[in-house]
Amino acid sequence: MNTTFILGLAILVIGVLSVAFVRPKTYVARLINLEIPAWGLLLVMLAYDEALALMTFVAVTAISTFVIVRLMEWRDASC
Amino acid sequence: MIALYVVAAIAVFAAVRAILERNTGRRFPHANVLNFAVAGSLVLLLDHPITLVAAAAYFVGSTLEANAIASTYAGGVKR
Amino acid sequence: MIFELQVVFGLIALLGALSAALIRDSYGKLIALGILVSGVLPFIVDRGYLDVAIAAALIAPISTIFVLMAVRRAEP
């Protein structure tokens, strides 16, 4: 396979493991780690030449980050 | 073509220096050097006029991101 | 893209991902996330998707600023 696909899979695996076994066990650290597999999945989508899927995925990732941040503020959890 | 190699070497050197630094406040200048080097390499990478717009967008975005992180790290806006 | 440049930017992206996973400080995590984005964007530009590159370069700082709102509330 080409370099983009292998690199995307490596970043995806690193991000998923870091979200599952997050070390400072807080919500903010888990939210920051959740951004890593998004970029890995973007690289995997880039290997398959899907332009509309790429742009939609970039937009939806930012919107979901905003929703999760507002949820953390509403619940007033110990962030 | 030699300019692309020089800029890529500067980019990987700045990335290694920014990651291996122990103090968080000393990471910011190396991250800025990395952002400028990647913005320069985006222009030289492809022969297409809209590449200049993409590099300008990345330059503005990365500068805004670095300034936001540094401002929050320094204490934010005092009210 | 030339193979050496693919190795260089892939190395930058992998270093950013590993350091964002391993650093314990929140601001260090955000800086490492910026390094990851700067390693990923040349691959998007090289495939010719310049509109996707413009959108990703403008949306990634906005997402970082959203996370910074939560970080400032968590550790003032």
**In the block, residue with structure tokens 């003032």:** C76
Identify the residue among C26, C27, C58 best suited for mutation to test binding to A, counting A beta carbons within 10 A and taking the highest. Answer: C26
User: pLDDT band at residue A23, thresholds of 50, 70 and 90?
Assistant: confident
Task: Quick: pLDDT tens for C7-45.
Answer: 999 999 999 999 999 998 889 999 999 999 999 999 999
CB-count exposure of residue C25 (10 Å: 0-12, 13-18, 19+): middle
Q: In three state form, how does the secondary structure of chain C look?
A: CCHHHHHHHHHHHHHHHHHHHHCCCHHHHHHHHHHHHHHHHHHHHHCCCHHHHHHHHHHHHHHHHHHHHHHHHHCC
Task: List the domain range (segments joined by +) for residue C19.
Answer: 3-74
What is the rounded average pLDDT of the residues A9-23?
Answer: 92
The CA R_g of chain B, rounded to the nearest whole Å, is 15
Q: Which residues of B touch C68 (CB under 8 A)?
A: 68-69, 72
Whole-angstrom distance between the N-terminal and C-terminal Cα of chain A?
41
Instruction: Give rounded-to-5 percent helix, strand, coil for chain B.
Output: 80, 0, 20
What is the rounded average pLDDT of the residues A27-47?
Answer: 91
Distance CA B72, CA C18 (A): 24
Q: Whole-number mean pLDDT of chain A?
A: 88
Q: Which residues of B touch C58 (CB under 8 A)?
A: 57, 60-61
DSSP B25: T
Residue C67's identity, in one-letter code, is: V
Residue A35's identity, in one-letter code, is: E
A71 touches chain C (CB under 8 A): no
Task: Quick: pLDDT tens for C45-69.
Answer: 998 899 999 999 999 999 999 999 8
Sign of CA dihedral A26, B20, B38, C12: negative
Domain ranges of chain B: 2-73
The pLDDT averaged over each successive group of 10 residues in chain B (79 residues) is: 90 91 89 93 89 92 92 76
B12 touches chain C (CB under 8 A): yes
